[in-house]
């Protein structure tokens, strides 16, 4: 099942980036799909597809390189590097997807501009200032 799920996720990315865009991706996503963000908010299938569709317009020429696709039962993790058109800015992206009955049911995504990576390596050493006495 894990290899089937990897294939579904790779197909979903191909469909999204192909001429069909979000319309081609939509059939691979469950109707009760949830996209979870790092800030603890989430969006539905309709909300997420609308946001992705809006982002694809200015990012139509984005280059994506798949670095890793790992699967464990109903979860697939994809690590990609993406270069933005014109500026060449690079982001590293980790997508964690849960599949159910051959469709994407949930997704979590972490995006980090690679130019911020060094600064983000020491976030745990930052201490809040002591409260005034």
**pLDDT digit string (tens) for the chain, length 133 residues:** 677 999 999 998 888 888 788 888 999 999 999 999 888 889 999 999 999 888 877 667 788 899 999 999 999 999 999 888 778 789 999 999 999 999 999 999 998 988 888 877 776 676 666 777 6
Q: How far is Cα of residue 105 from the mean position of the Cα atoms in its chain?
A: 13
Domain parsing of the chain, residue ranges: 2-117
Distance between CA atoms of 24 and 27, rounded to whole angstroms?
7
The CATH number of 2-117 is 3.10.450.50
Distance between CA atoms of 125 and 133, rounded to whole angstroms?
23
């Amino acid at each position: 099942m894990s290899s089937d799920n990897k294939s579904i996720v790779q197909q979903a990315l191909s469909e999204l980036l192909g001429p069909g865009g979000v319309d081609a991706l939509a059939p691979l996503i469950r109707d009760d799909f949830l996209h979870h963000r790092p800030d603890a908010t989430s969006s539905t299938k309709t909300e997420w597809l609308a946001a992705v569709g809006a982002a694809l317009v200015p990012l139509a020429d984005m280059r994506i390189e798949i670095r890793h696709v790992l699967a464990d039962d109903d979860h697939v993790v994809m690590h990609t590097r993406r270069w933005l058109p014109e500026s060449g800015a690079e982001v590293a992206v980790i997508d964690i997807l849960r599949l159910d009955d051959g469709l994407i049911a949930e997704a979590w995504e972490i995006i980090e501009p690679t130019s911020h990576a060094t600064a983000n390596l020491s976030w745990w050493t930052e201490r809040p200032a002591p409260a005034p006495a």
